[in-house]
Chain A
Amino acid sequence: MGMGMGSDPMERLVKLASESAVVIFSVSSCCMCHAVKRLFCGMGVNPAVYELDQDPRGKELERALMRLLGNSQAVPVVFIGGKLIGSMDRVMASHINGTLVPLLKEAGALWL
């Protein structure tokens, strides 16, 4: 999966987010990113992970994510089926209130 050549970081984000059923924007040293990855793996989902610290234009993407979330924390951010889910607390909340699994199934990330 190649990195998009869109000049606008937001466009790039959106493009990358739609290329897989589950997309996680991460930083390799971030422990919360590790937690969210393990959550999906534990559910049997195989997410696409973009480590922004390993991307030459990663800083731009981080800033775009911060703007998108209105958050000082750029990562982790999760997209399912191209749609923004949010940071870890949004992911947890949707898992507990039972909306996460249907979303995953809808996106084709989970089969039962």
Chain B
Amino acid sequence: MENHRVGETGLTDSGPSSNYHHHAVLHGMNAPISSNFIHQNGSAFGFGELEEAIVPHGVELTNDEAKAPALFTRSRPSSATLAMLPSNWSLRFQQTPRVESWNSRGESTDSVSSSAVNTLPSNQLQPESPISQKESSSADHHQPFNHKPLQQQQLEMASDISSLNQSAAQEKGRGSSSSEKQPDAKTLRRLAQNREAARKSRLRKKAYVQQLESSRIKLAQLEQDLQRTRSQGFFVGGCAAAFGNISSGAAMFDMEYSRWLEDDHRHLSELRTRLHAHLSDTDLQTIVDGYISHYDKIFRLKEAAAKSDVLHLITGMWMTPVERCFVWIGDFRPSELIKMLVSQLDPLTEHQVMGICNLQHSSQQAEEALTLGLEQLYHSLMDSIASGPVIHEMQQMAVALSKLANLEGFLHQADNLRQQILHQLPRILTVRQTARCFLVIGGYNQRLRALSSLWASHGPPEVLISDDQSCQTTDLQMVMVQQSQNHFSNF
């Protein structure tokens, strides 16, 4: 195969008079697909070669053009020749009717060039006819470009073009085509090839859509995993804000909280091992004091965060959803926690029992008072917004805003109550009992969070309740396995 330089100099083996037309035609071939053929470094493409490739395949040219190479004319390329070109090329010559034959391959009608481009992935032309395959195997490969040798692609194009021409000739029944003289076998083969091409296009499209669908599902799954991981208290980069509608103050608190949770996990592990190691009380005291300081830290963090986003804290948005079910003014209800502890902390001396009961009672009274105060705040807030007709809306809003600001005070008092109770426990209980207390609380919270993740990922489990009222579920077994390393319940 001779080398032909592509470009404005045209083809060297054609007559000078036809340079312009080659140029025009080459430019007409600047559709994305065809650019693969043309704009390759060091490779060349000549229409002359195409012409040579076409002719031996016995493409039926129009009767009056059969003897002349269609391209080498001064006028614009003949309709038959254009019919041989892939649709995106012929479009350049505003040859619209011919491209409709591509519709038999299942493509859309009007935006032919784009649809043809879309359906034929660039860098690939499927070898669709036995002829081109046979020929390409014996093709001379000394000018490869893309994945296939030039000649092979030319042959494939040629077969495309020839089959196109056949279908155009057959289906449009143009006078210039000699449709009546077509041997049936050949025509049928061409039609079959068209159908085959169309089928493959449809399959490719289907595969692409399926790929998109599975990607979408994967994305949803990833988001869910992310949410779950986040709810388990692991720091997930700065993506808290990515969940939308979260202030920077809230996002920062969430980050600090997840770090605090990691610390909590470490503290509790240490507490558990030291407790089981039967350390002296003084040593254990140090660890217990350390754990109380650890809780003091989260209260400080909450206090600071409340200045920027009290609603985030008070509504419990920083917790896992299941924990949020039990939220009382932004966190756990202390009296409920104390109730739980009493059952887990046997044996207690009578003095201790009294101390714990008093603590629970005082906590309940304090909680009731704060709840009533908060209720009054909510009613007052409702009144200030509900009243109408409003003459001075901005004033009304300003009043409502200043009332809303009082939430910070209530959150502060509620957290203060929780902190005071945690500090009171070691005054009533022994060091060992206090350590067990913290482990009970820690284990309980961890199970709450685990419940939340399980719910998020699996929903309610398939529960089989047998006669002895035992629930068997594989999900629960999974949780127990997961929790075995964080097993705080036995001590």
Give residues in A with beta carbon < 8 Å to B.
29, 31-32, 34-36, 38-39, 42-43, 73, 88-89, 92-93, 95-98, 100
A34 lies within 8 A of B420 (CB): no
Q: Which residues of A contact B420 (CB under 8 A)?
A: 92-93, 96-97
Residues of B within 8 A of A31 (CB): 373-374, 376-377, 380, 406, 410
14 A-B pairs with CB atoms under 8 Å apart are A31-B373, A31-B376, A32-B373, A34-B376, A38-B368, A38-B369, A39-B366, A42-B365, A43-B365, A89-B412, A92-B366, A93-B420, A96-B420, A98-B362
**Out of A29, A32, A95, which one reaches B366, CB within 8 Å?**
A95
Which chain A positions have C-beta within 8 A of B380? 29, 31
Within the assembled complex, what's the spacing in Å between the Cα atoms of A43 and B83?
98
The answer to whether A42 touches B359, judged by C-beta atoms less than 8 angstroms apart, is no
> Could you tell me the distance in whole angstroms from the C-beta of A69 to the nearest C-beta in chain B?
14
B425 → A minimal CB distance (Å): 10
Pairwise interchain contact A35-B370, C-beta atoms closer than 8 A: yes
Using a Cβ–Cβ cut-off of 8 Å, how many residues does chain B contribute to the interface with A?
27
* Interface status of B358 (Cβ within 8 A of chain A): yes
Are the C-beta atoms of B416 and A35 separated by less than 8 Å?
no
Which residues of B have CB within 8 Å of A97? Answer: 420, 423-424, 427
List of B residues within 8 angstroms of A100 by Cβ: 362
| Contact in complex: B416, A89 (CB < 8 Å) | yes
Chain B residues with CB under 8 A of A43: 365
Q: Is B421 an interface residue (CB 8 A)?
A: yes
> Across the interface, do B413 and A96 meet the contact criterion of CB distance under 8 Å?
no
The 7 closest A-B pairs by CB, nearest first: A35-B373, A39-B369, A31-B377, A96-B420, A38-B372, A38-B369, A31-B376
Question: How far is the CB of A90 from the nearest CB of chain B, in Å?
Answer: 10
**Residues of chain A lying within 8 A (CB to CB) of residue B7:** none
Cα–Cα distance between A32 and B373 once the two chains are bound (Å): 6
Q: Is B365 in contact with A39, judged by CB distance below 8 angstroms?
A: yes
A96 near B366: Cβ-Cβ < 8 Å:
yes
Which B residues are closer than 8 A to A by beta carbons?
Answer: 358-359, 362-363, 365-366, 368-370, 372-374, 376-377, 380, 406, 409-410, 412-413, 416-417, 420-421, 423-424, 427
In the complex, residue of chain A having the shortest beta-carbon distance to the beta carbon of B359:
A96
Check if B374 sits within 8 Å of A96, measured CB to CB. no
Complex Cα gap A32–B421 (Å): 20
- Distance, CA A36 to CA B372, complexed state (A): 10
Contact pick for B406, options A32, A36, A92, A96, CB 8 Å: A32
Q: How far is the CB of A11 from chain B (nearest CB, A)?
A: 29
CA distance A95 to B416 in the complex (A): 12
Minimum distance in angstroms from B14 CB to a CB of chain A: 94
Nearest-Cβ distance from residue B296 to partner chain A, whole angstroms = 14
Residues of A within 8 A of B410 (CB): 31-32, 35
B409 A96 Cβ-Cβ under 8 A: no
Point out the residue from A34, A88, A96 that lies within 8 Å of B421, measured CB to CB.
Answer: A96
A98 vs B409: C-alpha distance when bound (angstroms): 23
**CA separation between A34 and B416, bound complex, in Å?**
18
- Inter-chain CA distance A42–B369, complex, in Å, is 8
How far in angstroms is the closest Cβ of chain B from A56? 24
Given known pairs A92-B366, A96-B424, the reply for A35 and B412 (CB within 8 Å) is no
Whole-angstrom distance between the alpha carbons of A29 and B366 in the complex? Answer: 20
- With CB as the reference atom, state the residue of chain A lying closest to B421: A96
Picked from B358, B365, B373, the residue with its CB within 8 Å of the CB of A34 is B373
Other than A35-B410, A95-B366, give 19 A-B pairs with Cβ distance below 8 A.
A31-B373, A31-B376, A31-B377, A31-B380, A31-B406, A34-B376, A36-B369, A38-B369, A42-B368, A42-B369, A89-B413, A92-B417, A93-B416, A96-B363, A96-B417, A96-B421, A96-B424, A98-B358, A100-B362
Structural contact, B372 and A35, CB atoms closer than 8 A: yes
Q: How far is the CA of A43 from the CA of B362 in the complex (A)?
A: 9
Contacts of B427 in A (CB 8 A): 97
Nearest opposing residue in chain A for B364, CB measure: A42
A45 to B380, CA, bound (A): 26
Nearest B-chain residue to A30, judged by Cβ: B406
Give CA–CA (A92, B368) in the complex, Å: 12
Q: Kindly state the separation between the CA atoms of A30 and B26 in the bound complex, as whole angstroms.
A: 85
Q: For residue A39, which residues in chain B have a CB less than 8 angstroms away from its CB?
A: 365-366, 368-369
**A95, B413: Cβ atoms under 8 Å?**
no
A residues in contact with B423, CB < 8 Å = 97
Chain A residues, Cβ within 8 Å of B369? 35-36, 38-39, 42
Which chain A residue lies CB-closest to B362? Answer: A95
CB distance from B424 to the nearest CB of A (A): 6
Most chain B CB inside 10 Å of its own CB: which residue of A43, A73, A92, A93: A92
